[in-house]
């Protein structure tokens, strides 16, 4: 502590200003708490700055470029389509700036004090926050830790000019001619698809038996079919062994089917998971319990083993999803305020912005059976929907998982155009305890993709109109 460093007292300190942290800070302030939020980086965290938002902007730009080439089957032809990638990056930056500026306005509007600097715990009620010039002590009644995660670096693929993380992939100043993606999870698939749409020759190396293993096989098959059309080479059961870097590119060595192969690339994108940011906070000073992955152990109110310290987002168990972090942030802030709020992950959707988009919420058919439910699985294809046909988006389906005894909706999966938006209705149905009959009786606009949900519900009831 420096001389003159008088502690600033708070009701609640939020450490980390990503989608979990800033939401928690706003909700805590709405509950009447005196709140400060601290982060050494930019407001909005990884999600807004180098994750969810810029990646979706890049994906959308890739879609526009691909679509600009026309569609012969619709009678549309286009020649000499070009892309100014510096302009793409400039536009992407404007999207990010608008959202991060909005977060700052929301925090200030809710009277949350924004503190820039690195946080280090002194004890269970005290932290020291340091920037390049100053050190300030803060004391608090409660603290919510929301420090997020960072990309895992492989020992044989150290990050460099040619070996990049997702952050680096979003900041390239050129469209690569060739790219190798190590890891076929959602980040690798999304970014690999985005660059393939810009014309990059992409190779995805996945160490497991398939890409996107968190989703059902039939959903994965649709994505692989699209990737193949884009000339993306997907190699599964492939173990990346090393990389040789040159001035203008790199060569990756990998093993597959007992044989060693090499593939050249301008850039090597490593997307093999993320590591929680819990190792530089001084948590050992407080005695917070971590698991073997460095995740903070929490209860159903996001409380750690230290009763006034809470943890949310990528630093606790579960998938590293921004909407999960925001949800947990609200729960933690409300728990601090004395509410009986508890986490319930059953209604949290998982989405991949692949082609087609994939989305899932609640139980899959297999998970429901493993949990002991007797279920029906009702599917309706996009190809039987007028709006999907008019969009030329015929591939895909929606599946509803319902309990046989009463038709209660306990899960849903969507593979198809706008699945990321459509999954919300299924999530609402699960959260609200709705049945297939409730969805079937809800009048959906025609023609719309939303009708697919209604049609699947009618299939579940055994009374489909537009399918046999």
Angle at 268 between CA 264 and CA 271, to 5 degrees: 140
Residue partners of 270: CB distance under 8 A and separation at least 6: 151, 152, 153, 154, 157, 159, 163, 164, 165, 182, 183
Angle at 146 between CA 140 and CA 148, to 5 degrees: 150
Q: Pick the catalytic residue: 63, 323, 339, 446?
A: 446
Residue 221's CB is within 10 A of a number of other CB atoms, namely: 12
Beta-sheet pairing, 267-270 with 163-164: parallel
339 noted as active-site residue: no
φ, ψ (nearest 5 deg) of residue 332 = -65, -45
Judge if the upstream peptide bond of residue 447 is cis by omega within 30 degrees of 0.
yes
Residue environment code for 72-106, b if the CB has 16+ CB neighbours within 10 A, otherwise e: eeeeeeeeeeebeeeebbeebeebbeebbeebbeb
**Residues tagged active-site:** 446
């Amino acid at each position: 502590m420096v001389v003159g460093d008088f502690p600033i007292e708070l009701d609640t300190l939020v450490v980390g200003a990503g989608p979990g942290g800033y939401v928690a800070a706003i909700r805590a302030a709405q509950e009447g708490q005196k709140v400060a939020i601290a982060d050494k980086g930019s407001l909005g965290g990884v999600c807004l700055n180098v994750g969810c938002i810029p990646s979706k902007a890049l994906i959308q730009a890739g879609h526009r470029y691909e679509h600009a080439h026309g569609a012969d089957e619709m009678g549309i032809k286009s020649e000499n389509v070009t892309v100014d990638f510096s302009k793409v990056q400039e536009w992407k930056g404007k999207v990010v700036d608008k959202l991060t500026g909005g977060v700052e306005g929301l925090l200030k509007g809710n009277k949350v004090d924004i503190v820039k600097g690195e946080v280090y715990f002194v004890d269970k009620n005290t932290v020291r926050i340091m920037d390049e010039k100053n050190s300030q002590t803060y004391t608090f009644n409660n603290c919510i830790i929301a420090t997020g995660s960072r990309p895992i670096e492989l020992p044989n693929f150290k990050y460099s000019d040619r070996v990049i993380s997702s952050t680096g992939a979003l900041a390239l100043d050129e469209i690569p001619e060739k790219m190798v993606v190590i890891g076929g999870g959602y980040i690798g698939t999304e970014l690999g698809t985005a660059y393939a749409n810009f014309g990059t020759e992409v190779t995805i190396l996945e160490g497991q038996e398939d890409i996107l293993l968190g989703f059902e096989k039939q959903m994965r098959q649709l994505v692989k079919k699209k990737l193949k059309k884009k000339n993306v080479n997907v190699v599964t059961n492939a173990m990346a062994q090393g990389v040789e870097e040159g001035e203008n590119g790199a060569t990756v060595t990998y093993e597959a089917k007992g044989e060693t192969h090499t593939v050249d690339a301008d850039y090597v994108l490593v997307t093999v998971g993320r590591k929680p940011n819990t190792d530089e906070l001084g948590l050992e000073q407080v005695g917070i319990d971590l698991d073997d992955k460095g995740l903070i152990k929490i209860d159903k109110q996001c409380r750690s083993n230290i009763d006034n310290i809470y943890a949310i987002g990528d630093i606790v168990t579960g998938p590293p999803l921004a909407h999960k972090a925001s949800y947990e942030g609200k729960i933690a802030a409300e728990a601090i305020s004395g509410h009986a709020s508890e986490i319930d992950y059953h209604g949290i959707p998982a989405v991949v912005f692949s082609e087609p988009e994939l989305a899932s919420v609640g139980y899959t058919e297999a998970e429901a059976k493993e949990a002991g439910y007797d279920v029906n699985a009702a599917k309706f294809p996009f190809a039987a929907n007028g709006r999907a046909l008019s969009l030329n988006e015929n591939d895909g389906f929606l599946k509803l998982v319902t309990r046989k005894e009463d038709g209660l909706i306990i899960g849903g999966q969507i593979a198809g155009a706008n699945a990321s938006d459509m999954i919300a209705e299924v999530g609402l149905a699960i959260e609200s305890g709705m049945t297939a009959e409730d969805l079937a009786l809800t009048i959906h606009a025609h023609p719309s993709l939303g009708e697919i949900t209604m049609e699947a519900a009618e299939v579940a009831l055994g009374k489909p109109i537009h399918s046999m």
